[in-house]
Chain A
Amino acid sequence: MEGFRYLKGVSTLNLNAEACVGCGMCTTVCPHGVFKMNSRKAQIVDHDGCMECGACTANCPSEAISVSPGVGCAAYIIQSWIKGQENAACGGPGCC
């Protein structure tokens, strides 16, 4: 996403190249072009572009990708600090 870069080196995204079966699904579903195919293996080409949405892990057939998914929303995180992860509501006033 041109013109919009967020904090570097924070994403929990991880790719296990050995487990990758080369289907390319991650390159399709990622909304930030984080992956590219390179000789039948997926490769992370923009780690800092990852927003941890979790689309890649949900659609990887061989569990080669791991990420701790969530919403990058300050209001939600404040709620999870106060009320705990389970009770934090994304929605209502304050979030999407």
Chain B
Amino acid sequence: MLEQKEPCCETQASACQCGDTPNLKPLFTSAIDDDVCCGPPAGPASSSYEKAGYAVWHFVEDFVETPAGQAPRVKTRMEFPDILHTAKVRLGIHRNNYKVAPGLYCVGNPDSSAPVLVTANYKLSFDTLRQELSGLDAWLLVVDTRGINVWCAAGKGTFSTQEVVHRVNQIGLAKIVEHRQIILPQLAATGTSARHVKKGCGFEVIWGPVRADDIKAFLAAGKEATPHMRQVTFTLKERLVLIPVELSFIPQYALWIILGLFVLSGIGSHIFSFEVAWTRGIMTTVALIGGILAGAVVVPALLPWIPGVAFAVKGALTGLVAGLIVALYFWSQSTLLESLALLFCTSALSSFMAMNFTGSTPYTSPSGVEKEMRKAIPLQALAGLIALVTWIGAAFAS
């Protein structure tokens, strides 16, 4: 047996698949029926794919043998854990630590002529791709983008030429496929140079579509993208899923600000009154919530229909509307000065929140955002100051 060993066995490489694998077969394959012991009968034996120190992901169907070791065959259907974690990430929970291990995966029964699709190791990106691959036979090369989605990773430089070249060489892709083509998502182009990838590993980069749901049509058309596949979109659905995360960005010290506003609201010609602090504090809190909702919910949702080009302007407009609603709601118990203060507070806050949404959109240029901010931030600060002074002043005027 010894002389038949392949070089990888000597080096004890982890991907070594040579030799017989009788040891992998479990001792007991069926459930053990033991009525001596307490509790329900023991479950089935461990799967032969389990390895000490590793956990097999629920989305792995089984493992296929390749000339460069085993590759997990993944399911193309989302299951409960995927849906649950997607929901959590979309709500901003653990969204910065949601990864799959980089390496080679596959769907269906790929052979040496099957296409190779490259993606990021952010699990949301990985899931988005694999659920579009039902019925296809393809290799999936997951590169280590440090758990960041394709476009952001390309912008940050973690979805890079070096990483693609390194991963292609590391997994030995040249041993697995006969052709010399890899399909990269188009949005990776920001960080990846097709010609340098070719130079580095010999594989030609084919730029795939922007969205994973076009991949089937792209492959069926002989790896040709339509102009629509090449352009980013920002549909209502694409905008709505971003809202919870926008809201999760609200800093925790916002609670302290609200507390501070309650205290501030109690100051007046009577020096300080808890009763006044309570009633006026509630007004400021409602104005703050109104401003946040107007800027971080209404602006993303109604983005293309709100007048204005700059986000700060759009936010100021929705904030003005929200402020009017808040002022009208408290009309009977507030003075004109107070209504004015609420209006300024809501508009300024909404404008700022809307401006921060620029980072989540796929069409704002850094030059544009900076230009907008240089004009908007002083005005937002001024409006905030006016709101504060008017609010305190109103308590002395009445």
| Chain A residues packing against B (C-beta within 8 Å) | 1, 3-8, 10-12, 25, 28-33, 49-55, 58-59, 61, 68-78, 90-96
Contacts and interface: CB of A to CB of B under 8 A. Distances in A.
A94 B149 CA distance: 15
Given A51-B362, A69-B155, 5 more contacts: A1-B233, A6-B364, A28-B207, A94-B249, A96-B359
A11 B370 CA distance: 11
Interface stretch (B189-197, B267-275, B283-291, B317-325): B189-197
Contacts of A61: 195
Residues of B in contact with A, size category: 35 or more
Given A59-B195, A72-B359, A93-B248, A53 B303 contact: no
A59 B184 CA distance: 13
B368 interface: yes
A80 B310 CA distance: 20
Contacts of B249: 75, 93-94
B194 to A, nearest CB: 6
- CB-CB nearest 9 A-B residue pairs: A73-B359, A72-B364, A70-B366, A55-B189, A29-B189, A7-B368, A96-B152, A3-B304, A52-B365
Contacts of B210: 31
B367 A4 contact: no
A5 to B, nearest CB: 6
Interface string B232-252: 111000000000000011010
B372 interface: yes
Nearest to A94: B249
Given A33-B230, A74-B356, A96-B359, A11 B191 contact: no
B231 A32 contact: yes
A5 B303 CA distance: 11
Contacts of B364: 6, 51, 72-73
B365 A50 contact: yes
A76 B359 contact: yes
Which interface residue of A4, A8, A52 has the most chain B CB atoms within 10 A?
A4
A5 B230 contact: no
A75 B356 contact: yes
Contacts of B373: 74, 77-78
16 contacts: A4-B234, A7-B365, A7-B368, A31-B186, A33-B227, A49-B363, A51-B364, A52-B367, A53-B151, A53-B190, A58-B190, A74-B373, A75-B356, A91-B96, A93-B249, A94-B249
Nearest to B156: A90
A93 B253 CA distance: 14
Given A72-B359, A95-B359, A10 B186 contact: no
Given A72-B366, A96-B152, A1 B234 contact: yes
Nearest to A71: B155
A29 B210 CA distance: 9
B371 interface: yes
Which interface residue of B210, B233, B359 has the most chain A CB atoms within 10 A?
B359
Interface in B254-297: none
A59 B359 contact: no
A51 B359 CA distance: 12
Contacts of A52: 365-367
A73 B355 CA distance: 9
Given A51-B363, A96-B359, A6 B190 contact: no
Nearest to B193: A58
B394 interface: no
Contacts of A54: 155, 190
A66 B155 CA distance: 16
A10 to B, nearest CB: 4
B231 A29 contact: no
B370 A77 contact: yes
A62 to B, nearest CB: 11
Contacts of B154: 55
A70 B365 CA distance: 8
Contact of B369 (A1, A55, A77): A77
Contact of A72 (B187, B234, B304, B361): B361
Contacts of B156: 90-91
A28 to B, nearest CB: 5
Given A29-B186, A58-B192, A71 B366 contact: yes
B380 to A, nearest CB: 11
A1 B232 contact: yes
Interface in B342-367: 355-356, 358-367
Contacts of A6: 309, 363-365, 368
Interface string B143-181: 000001101101110000000000000000000000000
